[in-house]
Structure formats: structure tokens, C-alpha cells
Structure 1
Amino acid sequence: MIAVLRNPTYAKLFSAQIIALLGTGLLTVALGLLAFDIAGGDAGIVLGAAMTIKMVAYVAVSPITTALASRVPRKPVLIAADLVRAGVAISLPFVTEAWQIYILIFLLQSASATFTPTFQAVIPSVLPNEKDYTRALSLSRLAYDLESLVSPMLAAALLTVISFHNLFVGTVIGFFASAALVIATRFPHIEVPPPTAFFERLTRGGRVFLATPELRGLMGLNPVVATTTAMVIVNTVVLVQGDLARPQTDVALMLAAYGGGSMLIALGIPKLLETLPDRRVMLTGGSILPILLLAGTGVMAWMSGTPQWVALLIVWTLLGAATSAILTPSARLLRRNSTDQNRPAVFAAQFSLSHACFLITYPLAGILGAVIGLPAVALVLVAIGALGTVLATLAWRDASRPLLQRVSAQGPTKTQQ
């Protein structure tokens, strides 16, 4: 898998991604401590509002900035986004009011909503060979999973010798280093698309999704991923410390089980996709997720003691694996059904659509879980996930059926595998 790093352009871009991820991880920890420093017992309200602002920025800003920058070369777009993120990180230690955090978080996440889909859209042009691109997707998935484990540990180690305000310095260094690597990278030449009306550019990615059966299937799988992820991210700590009365270290262990399952599948995806089509792998993951979440509900309701704990660890590991089976190959669909010119719009559309699902499932899992309990909210999420899987299967009926060959103003697509 690491052979793909022999490509010098991709190696620099992947390094930029890793460094920026670590910077973002440190920022997350520092932001939580800053919120407590400013708001005290109301820190949860501040962080909840900040995370909501983050999702709103991801959903709304990504298509807009992509449309505005559609005729700008991608290299300066990435550099500018990194510099904006560094500027926000520099400013955060000096805030004294919650509303200042909200404004800076919106600017930060707007820059991230610009950087991420633009970065993702560049990689297919850097790695035109599908096998190499699949290996790159696996590395990217591993990077995201490892960051969620490494960043908190790195932050904890740094906090033993520095104050939390200095964590922002690490974030700034990360974003500057990411920008420097992008500057040092030789980007492939991509023809600038012809000038078109802003509304056409704004809706370009969404129209490709609606016109392409394969991408409509991906739209159905987005809420499946969002329901499971919301249950894990929002309610793991409630389940472990509230319902099971286990120590804080077990929260980390359970989240590590989820991340470990995801990494295991990410490592095996390149070989798996050499023998199986994307449709089968992704729909299998989509079908398994609601079943696993239902099994977790049964474990919560009817088991106790050590057997319950072991069963939940297994379920969380399998949830991570099934989620990775959907997420890791998903960019292959976006690559196949886009051209060099409209690819940023297609990636931005997926970025926006997927986070729109999180904007619904995160508060649903948190608020409804507090009202009706974890087993009951898990059943609600199971129902949403099962509906998403059905819609994905109906939209993506036949893996061998040729895709629409042309969408007005978006360019040709390729035959589905």
C-alpha cells in the first residue's frame, strides 16, 4: 500500500494532510479547554454551538466556495485555505467571549470546507491509475482513524509541560507546514472550465448526483453512515460511564475498538476491490450497519456484566469495519462519475450532502438519547439507517448497468464496475 508514496506529488500532499489533521486534533482539545476557561460549567453549551456551526459551515459553505473558485487553480485555493486556518488558530487564544469563538469557528470550518473537497478532487489527477488511487484512499482512511487516536494522546503529553494556550501554537505550525508542502508540490495541469453562470456552478455537483444512479446510491448510504457514527461519537461516553458505570479509560477503549475495526477494513480494501465491485462492498456495509446497531441495542437491553462489555466491544469493532467498507471506496464513485473540470463540484456536493446527514443525526442521537434512553434512540437510528440502505439499493440496482453517458454541463461519466 505504501508503494503509492513513491509518487513525489502524492507523498507531499499526503504529508500535508497528515500534518493538518494533527493540527486540527490539537485544536479540538485546545478549543474544549478554552471553552471551559471562558464559560466554566456552560462549556458544553459553547462546544455544542461550535460543533453545530461547524456542520452548518460544512453543509452551506463548501458548494459556494467551490463555485466561486471554480476557475481558480487548485493550488492557490489550498494554500489560501491553510493560511486562513492558521490565522484563526493564532486568534483563538486571545478571545474572551463565547461569541468570538463562534465567529472564528465559522471562519475556520469554512476554510476547511474549502480545503477538504478541493484536496480530495486533486488526488485523482495526481494518481490516474485506479489501483494507486484505491491505495491512496486506504491511506487517507487510516490517517483519519489514527488521528482520532494519536491527537488526544499527543495533546495529553504536551499538556504536562505547556499550557493549553500553547496547543494553538502547534495547530498554527501544522497549518503553515501543510501550506508549505502544498507550495512545494508540482500539481498536474488541469484545464480551467469555461465561464458559466454562478447558479450553474453552484448546482453542478448536485445535478451530477441526481443524474447518476451510482451517486444516488451513495446519497442513500450517507444517512446510514451518519446514524451509526452519531451513535458512536455522541453516545459512547454516555453508554460507558452513564449506563455501564465503567471508568473513563473504557470510553477510550471502546472508541479505539471502533477505530481499529475501521483501520482493519481500510488496510484490506485495495485487495478486496480487486475481486469485488464497489457496489457489493458498499451495500454489504450499508446492510450490516443497521443490523449491528440493532444487535448493540439487544446487548444494552438484555445483557450485563463482563459478557455485555465484551459483546459491546465486538459490536463497536464491527461497526467501525462496516462504516469503513462504505467510506473508503466512496471516492472511487466520485472519481468515476466526474471529469477534471467538474470534479471539485462533485466532491464538494458529497462533502455537503454527507455532513447534512450528520447535522440531523448528531443532535438526534444526543437530545433524543437523553430523553428516551440509548436503546430506544438506537432503534430510531436503526430505522433511519435501514431506510437509507433500501433507498441506496433501489437507486443502485444493477452494478453492470451503464451509467448515463452525459449530464448537461458536467461532462461524460464512465461505465460502472
Structure 2
Amino acid sequence: MPKRTVLLAEDFGLLADGTSDDGRAIQRLLARAKQVGGSVELRFPKDKVICVKSGVERYAFLLNEVNNLRIDGQGSEFRLTPELRFLRAVGCSNLEVVNLKVDFLSQPTVAGTLAKVDPKAKAIEVKLDQPAMAGKLGGPTGEDGEQAFFGMIQLESSYDTRKLFHYYVDRVEVLSPGLVRVFNEKPVWKTLKQHGKPGQTRIGLPVPGVAHRYGPGPLFLIDGCRNALVSRVDVWSAPWFSFVLRRNEGQVTFRHVNVQPKLGSGKVLSSCRDAIHAKGNRASLLFEDCVLSGLGDDAFNLSTHCSRVTAIEAPNRITVAQQFPLVHIPFRVGDTLILMDPENNRKLAQRTIRAVNTIPSPRPPRAKPLAPWAPCSVLTLDRPVSEGLRTGLVAWSRESANPKSVIRRCVIRRSCRLQTNTLIEECDVQALLWFYG
């Protein structure tokens, strides 16, 4: 291993006093790391509270093609303002993020206890743990890429577990200090009347302007990197996805990474959406000794974006277009192409890709941050598909579908969507696991 240069955050003006903005000091630290080059460790003071109120492109750590960097929080807690996210790493190699906690200065959700279910009014009444938050609640704003606006209710379920149940919020009325009426037009009242227990059932309500906002993206984005380690990292709240891993190569390891409400806080929710969302990785993915709970969506979502056959140029040459492309997952020469018939959900053929011709197409204006788009590709195969070849078939690359994924000794308290070969070992699971695709 090359000798690592250690840069101390305090030497670049970081105060870690729990109130001052340390965002500018972090940017000076990153600039110096770029100048030094080679293997660099950014070391933060031990067990402090570091407030981050400014960043670059709304990220505290924005890393583009940075190699051999280690960020060691030494147990410190990073508190972000709600418009910021923690880390975006694109095209990096040998990245390590270790020993830190992440939370927000303004919480995405507020916890409370169910006080009353009123099906006639299509509303529930909630007694808030923090009465002062009553005036900050309300319905969706539609701003900054805000998505489905819901809270979560903990309902008693089978096997002595608690089922997290979506409760969409249309509007909120303040009845008295700390008591609010929350309206929801969706048909949920039979379930709530049967399982909701006033005085006992807990609920997490979204805070407008913070919760469910796509904003600049996930709390942590690792995209197109080679080799990454995230270890001993705690996420106590996140407005959207906590971790998104996409198009990475080599080895990506998560060890002792916990996405859960801060212990003792009484909170119901941690991340408003997925804890770990892995899409289109060629890397080996290893998740060990992680705890994922209090989530508004999946604990693990391991999947890829499939394409559809849109044209047949020859029995061994087809044009494909990616479906619902949150991110473009490119095909490569040598990949194994899988063709599936969606009418009977059966595998039709498996071929090796001999040539890829990506068809340029202008990116359409994006009305929303997640507007789907990806270029088409013409794929030349090693041999013809003799039977059943037609437009509309589903196609994907086996190599880019997280082909080597392991979840080991994890505590999972929310559903998992697994559209990839996944080995699950010695896990404590109280959730629905979806295996599909």
C-alpha cells in the first residue's frame, strides 16, 4: 500500500463546535487533498458535532475522479441543512468512508402517537412528541423534486412484528398545541380502524420542505467508481434515499452501516425512502453487519434497468431502448445478453454481445429531476435468435445486474426488492423479500 498523507480538518479551519458552518473548511480540505495527490486521508476530530450549512452543488463532499481517498470521521456526527446531501462520488477509485454519523439540522419527519381515527373525515389525529413542530406540518409542496408525500404508521402485524404502513398526507390542521389532524384521501380506513390503537400506535409524519425531496440526489451517491468501502457509518435521517450505488466496478463493501432512527430518539422514520439502492453495478457487492430499519421504502433494492427490443435489424442484430431509465446502464462488448418474453415471463435466449452501437439522441428538457431518458443501442450478437425474436422482448446484461451480491449478518426491518443473484446469510429478517425478474 502506498504511504498515506493525513490531513487534519482542524488545520483547515474546521471548528466542530456544533453550531458554526464547517462546510467551507471541508472544501478547503478537499482542495488541499487534490493538490497533494497520491493516497490521502481526511481526518476529522474525534466524537464532535460538525455542522455543514454550505457545499458544492449541494453536497458536503463532491468527488469527481478522485483516487485513493479515505474520509475518517473518527466517530463525529455531521449535521446537514435540509437542502444539502453528504457525499457524491463519481468516477473515483479506492474510496473509503469510515467512522461517522449523519443527521439533519431540520428533521425530515416528526414522530407522534395516534390519538383518533376518523374515517368519516378521512383524517387521523396525532399527538406530537415535539409540540412546537405542529405549525411546521402541512401537505405536499411539489418543490425541489418532491415525490410521493407520506408518513409511516407502525401497525401491529403477525409474528409479533410491527408493520410500517404508508399514510399519505394531503393537508394538516392544528387542533391545539401538539395535536394535529392529518387528512388523507386514500382508502386506508379499514386497515387503520382495525389495527390502529389510539394512545399506542406510533406514526412518523413528513415535514414539508424537507421530506421526500429529491433535491440534488441521495444522501450518499457512489456512481461509476472502482472499489469503495463504507464502514461504521450511521445514518439517522435522510430526506430521500440514503445510499445509491450505481454502475460501479471492482469491490464495493458496506460493513457496520446502519440506517435507523437514532437510538433513544423515539423517532419512527430514518430514511424517507430506500436505505440501500443498488442499480446496474458490475462490482461485487458485500453488505455485512448492517442494521436497516424505520424506512419509508425498501431496506435493499438490488436491481438493474431492463431494455425493450424496439427493432430487429437481422436475426443477430437488434435495437433496444432502456425502460424507466433513472440512470443509463450501458451494454458492453462481451456481455451476456438475456432476452425474456414478458407475455409468459420465460427466458427466450442468451447470447454474447459482439458489438454495441449507441444511437445518439438529445436529452429532452427535464420537467422533473427524475424524468426518464437513455439513448438506444444497436446490439450485434454472436449468433442469431432463431425462434420467438420480436419487438417488445425484455433485454438486459447479466454482467451489469449486480451479479455478485452478498447480504450477511444484517438486521432487516423493511421490505427488500431483489432483482439480482443475491446470497443472504445469517440475517435477522422481519420483512417481505421480493425476488423478481
Q: TM-score, normalised to structure 2's length?
A: 0.24
Higher RCO, Cα 8 Å, sep 6+: 1
Larger radius of gyration: 2
Q: TM-score, normalised to structure 1's length?
A: 0.25
Choose between structure 1 and 2: higher strand proportion: 2
